[in-house]
Amino acid sequence: MANGAPTARRHTCPTSAEYREEAVLITSVLADRYGEHPAIAAWQVDNEIGNHDSARCWCYQCQEQFIRWLSERYGSIDTLNEKWGTAFWSQTYPDFDSIRLPVPTVTAHNPSLELAHRQFASDQMIDFVKAQFEIIRERSAEPITTNFYNEDTAVDQRPAARLGGVASMDNYPDGPS
């Protein structure tokens, strides 16, 4: 429950400091205990990262980190306004703090805001998975994978696949068996 309200499967926030701390703790304990175990053939970190749009969150921590991410990416609010074309529909921002996450709404958000939020969410999820990869890599010589789902994901799978280890994909064929 990223914002305290249950939603559906995978209702976690990859930006949450508390969630990340717990994930690091669990990964460390498991890797310490089983890192050299002869029965371990490989490690899997997460499952279908970002599936069902689960990388995106609209909690206060995401809001704070999104502003920081935008500031680092664009450097100045003038640059952001220019790159996003915010003069259209009178969406020019006076400062980074006035930018809000594109929460679901009845009308369309600025497409640049939507894209930036998706890129931010992807970066957060990849960073979350990367932290676990690094912990396991320090404690085990076995391959590490995360599995991808080829549809309905907000995560850019290319940088996630470059984390090392083995890239894998879930395949759910449709039709009669």
> pLDDT of 23-42, one tens digit each?
999 999 999 999 999 999 99
Residue 80 forms part of a structural domain: yes
Domains in the chain: how many in total? 1
SS3 142: coil
Residue 87 forms part of a structural domain: yes
Which has the higher per-residue pLDDT, 93 or 169? Answer: 93
Q: What are phi and psi of 152, to 5 degrees?
A: 55, 50
163-174 tens-digit pLDDT = 877 888 888 777
Residue 6 forms part of a structural domain: no
CA 2, CA 60: separation in Å to the nearest integer? 9
131-155 tens-digit pLDDT = 999 999 999 999 999 888 776 667 8
Residue 117 forms part of a structural domain: yes
CA 167, CA 147: separation in Å to the nearest integer? 7
Residue 126 forms part of a structural domain: yes
Domain that holds residue 112: 56-169
